[in-house]
């Protein structure tokens, strides 16, 4: 059994895409966006353009953020559309956190950050506005917020704005699809 596969039960498989695997990934793979065989990714009820996704396994994926509060944030999401963290299987939980760890490490280095903030808002009273398990991954630098914990207020505010305004079938008022696709393309290179 390969090392990465040993982390998952025998019934789970990692997404392996021919021509995109490297020995350093140990079973995890990136993918080419907009492949004909790809099904669209979803973030709760919203469709996500595969070009905005930069890392995926058979159970989770990472995408760029529509409304960043600082440079470089991303989301790690379960591929299954579970609204709550407690609804994930053990394999999904492990894979989601391994994805967040891998993505966070790469983005921290890429953005020359010194720390990472990982946050989950699990349920409406916790500030979750999109009913889909996801982890916010934020590369942090000294002084990016006057008070360190202000980042949580900023995330809450962006989540509320997102709920009010996000409709991917209409014109975006935030970052353009082109900006997000370009950023995802840069991040995708980190996993080759």
pLDDT at 68: 80
| pTM for the structure as a whole | 0.70
**Cα separation, 130 vs 124, whole angstroms:** 9
| Burial category of 19 from C-beta neighbours within 10 Å (exposed 0-12, middle 13-18, buried 19 and up) | exposed
pLDDT at 69: 77
Residue 18, CB-side half-sphere exposure with 13 Å CA sphere:
1
* 3-class DSSP assignment, residue 62: strand
> Any binding-site annotation on 129?
yes
Selected catalytic residue, list 82, 109, 132, 134: 134
* 3-class DSSP assignment, residue 179: helix
> Any binding-site annotation on 164?
no
pLDDT at 171: 38
Counting as low any pLDDT under 50, the low residues of the chain are 1-37, 166-172
The secondary element (H helix, E strand) that includes residue 116 is strand 115-119
pLDDT at 159: 61
CB 191 within 8 A of CB 54: yes
> Any binding-site annotation on 165?
no
**Cα separation, 76 vs 92, whole angstroms:** 12
> Any binding-site annotation on 106?
no
Segments making up each domain of the chain, as ranges:
3-189
pLDDT at 37: 37
Residue 82 is among the residues annotated as catalytic for this protein: no
pLDDT tens digits along 2-27: 333 333 333 333 443 333 343 343 44
8: nearest Cα among 71, 88, 93? 93
Question: Any idea which fold 3-189 has?
Answer: HIT family, subunit A (3.30.428)
| Buried residues in 170-180 as b, exposed as e (16+ CB within 10 A) | eeeeebeeeeb
The secondary element (H helix, E strand) that includes residue 42 is strand 41-43
Residue 181 backbone class (left: φ over 0; alpha: ψ -120 to 50; beta: rest): alpha
CB 184 within 8 A of CB 64: yes
| Measured CA distances, 3 to 8, 23, 138, 163, 182 (Å) | 10, 12, 27, 39, 32
| Burial category of 68 from C-beta neighbours within 10 Å (exposed 0-12, middle 13-18, buried 19 and up) | middle
pLDDT at 141: 86
> Any binding-site annotation on 121?
yes
> Any binding-site annotation on 39?
no
């Amino acid at each position: 059994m390969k090392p990465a596969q040993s982390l998952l039960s025998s019934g789970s498989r990692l997404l392996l895409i021919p021509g995109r695997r490297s020995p350093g990934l140990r079973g995890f793979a990136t993918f080419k966006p907009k492949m004909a065989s790809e099904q669209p990714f979803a973030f709760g009820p919203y469709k996500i353009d595969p070009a905005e996704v930069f890392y995926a396994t058979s159970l989770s994926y990472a995408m760029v953020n529509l409304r960043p509060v600082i440079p470089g944030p991303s989301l790690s999401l379960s591929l299954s559309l579970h609204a709550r963290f407690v609804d994930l299987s053990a394999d999904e939980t492990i894979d989601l956190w391994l994805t967040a760890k891998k993505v966070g490490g790469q983005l921290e280095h890429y953005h020359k950050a010194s720390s990472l903030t990982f946050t989950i808002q699990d349920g409406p009273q916790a500030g979750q506005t999109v009913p889909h398990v996801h982890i916010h991954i934020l590369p942090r630098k000294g002084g990016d917020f006057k008070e360190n914990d202000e980042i949580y207020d900023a995330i809450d505010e962006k989540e509320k704005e997102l709920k009010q305004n996000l409709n991917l079938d209409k014109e975006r008022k935030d970052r353009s699809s082109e900006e997000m696709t370009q950023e995802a393309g840069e991040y995708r290179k980190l996993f080759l």
